[in-house]
Structure 1
Amino acid sequence: MSPATLHDWHRPLGSTGLSVSPLGLGTVKLGRDQGVKYPNGFTIPDDAAARALLQQARELGINLIDTAPAYGTSEERLGPLLRGQRHEWVIVSKVGEEFIGGQSLFDFSPAHARLSVERSLKRLESEHIELLLVHSDGNDVAILRDSGIYETLAELKREGKIGAFGLSGKTVEGGLLALQDGDCAMVTYNLNEQGEKPVLDYAASHGKAILVKKALASGHACLQPGVDPVQASFELVFSHPGVTSAIVGTINPAHLAHNVACAAGVLKALG
């Protein structure tokens, strides 16, 4: 039997006109192994392993890649790795957070936003980034209201440098505000944390996009023995009509195949 894929389950990314797979590949582990919150240590994959992982993702029907300047060398590795196939991918990158000397630094000024986007375009060897998100430090509302960064992203969208924009935030208020004037919110939503559900509800009723981060958050002790935590997580995530895609950050080929099989099974069952 051929492995389950997501080719038949692509869906609109809100009202951006883009179509994306219900799982996206998170690439923090391609570029950074310091200051990351994973239960187990890992080794950053070399180019051959990274290329194989991207090829596997494509074959499994994934066309969405999540990266960020704060993910160490992730963007600059993706540029060369995606040569010749860039048109087949929808890339999400970020602005506002830098990771320097082992710690996160934040700058939400319009000037830094422009500098950051130009740098990301160069690193990704692209003239256009499909979706750009503000990488929040948690002060979502203040960033959106006071920094001028959202206005700058709207300008970059008009200039054609980015296709859509939004916020990777940490609060309900920030997520709702982000969707009023932007295209997408990235929210935490999993078996342990569902506080940002009102943002999903708003997106569902306003044709906006939702990307879910930490969909497979550790801490599945609440599950019954014999219940697959990945399947249970995807049942929760994909049963909400507001969810566009969930970002999974694995660099393990077996885990990636299992995630895709679970997601395809859940989506089929949900009809």
Structure 2
Amino acid sequence: METTLHHLHRPLGSTGLNVSPLGLGTVKLGRDQGVKYPNGFRIPDDSQARQLLALARGLGINLIDTAPAYGVSEQRLGPLLQGQRDHWVVVSKVGEEFIDGRSHFDFSPAHTRLSVERSLKRLKTDRIELVLVHSDGRDLEILQHSGVYEALAELKREGKILGYGLSGKTVEGGLLALEHGDCAMVTYNLNEQAERPVLDYAQAHGKGILVKKALASGHVCLKSDEDPVRLSFELLFGHPGVGAAIVGTINPQHLSDNVRTAAAVLSQQQ
């Protein structure tokens, strides 16, 4: 019997969203430049992408992570999610654009609104469940001075987004993001645990946490004689503040293996 995550969905903080403990990251559906992975890859064609989404769904994954900075990821997901949109909790971003092989940042309220409305069109949908500020590392400055959170709060009041937060790089940014928003996306893995205080705060205050680089962008798989994926998931899901980990794979076997391992770890912890 194939192990799935269907029975392991959980609330994401107090967002009202129920998510699978693993989410599918889609940077590899949209761009192959400037991505930090140990091995090269080819962007999947539409039929491969459709099969990957069907597999993810069959494995009980309902969380999907995209961003304007992921090349054409949003444009591709729009048609692929037609007819099954209500199955998915979609996370997208604002603030970072990837143009001609380089990242550009704009956190102004005007660009934030333009970006979200463009994402709605690209994704062919009337709402995005979560929109995160795609930080360039200046987390506090962005949150305190750009007006991006105010713009997102307005879009949430309009029902265009259901929640918002920060995909950041600092503890201070993560804490401020949670204080005034719904969720934070943090780096937390076997190599990097500096942002753990953000997980602690989220647990204490009923806020949502998504983990990025859960497997250290694949690099963790290169240097351990134990099962690095299992060790990673034991670390992540051992913290009650963690809602879900985003795993960006386009390899169906890796996806199935990751789901099997996550399900085993979570079932053990229950």
TM-score scaled by length of structure 2: 0.98
Task: Note if contact 2:13-2:208 (Cα within 8 Å) is conserved in structure 1.
Answer: yes
Q: Deviations over 1:3-29 (max 9, x none)?
A: 110000000011111100000000000
Secondary structure of 1:164's aligned partner: strand
Partner Cα separation in structure 1 for residue 65 and residue 191 of structure 2:
23
1:74-153 superposed matches below 5 A: 74-153=73-152
**Any unmatched runs of 5+ in structure 1?**
none
Matched, 1:162 2:155: no
- Structure 2 counterparts to residues 108-257 of structure 1, below 5 A: 108-217=107-216, 218-219=219-220, 223=224, 225=225, 227-257=226-256
Matches within 5 A, 1:18-97: 18-97=17-96
Deviations 1:88-141 (A, max 9, x none): 000000000000000000000000000000000000000100000000000000
Q: How far apart are the structure 2 equivalents of 1:112 and 1:31?
A: 21
Q: Aligned residues: percent identity?
A: 74
Find the aligned partners of 1:221 and 1:42 in 2 and give their Cα distance: 17
What is the deviation of 1:220?
5.2
How many Å separate the matches in 2 of 1:191 and 1:98? 29
Query: Which letter maps to 1:73?
Result: V
What is the identity, as a one-letter code, of the residue corresponding to 1:25?
L
Q: Distance in 2 between matches of 1:229 and 1:222?
A: 8
Return the alpha-carbon distance in structure 1 between the equivalents of residues 109 and 153 of structure 2.
Answer: 11
Give the alignment's TM-score, normalised by structure 1. 0.98
Moved over 6 A (4+): none
| Structure 1 counterpart SS, 2:125 | coil
| Contact 1:191–1:220 (CA under 8 A) maintained in structure 2 | no
Is 1:7 aligned with 2:6?
yes
Q: Which amino acid aligns with 1:160?
A: G
- Give the RMSD, CA atoms, in angstroms: 0.8
Counting matched residue pairs gives 268
2: distance between equivalents of 1:83 and 1:253?
21
Matched residue, 1:262 = 261
How far apart, in 1, do the equivalents of 2:88 and 2:8 lie?
A: 15
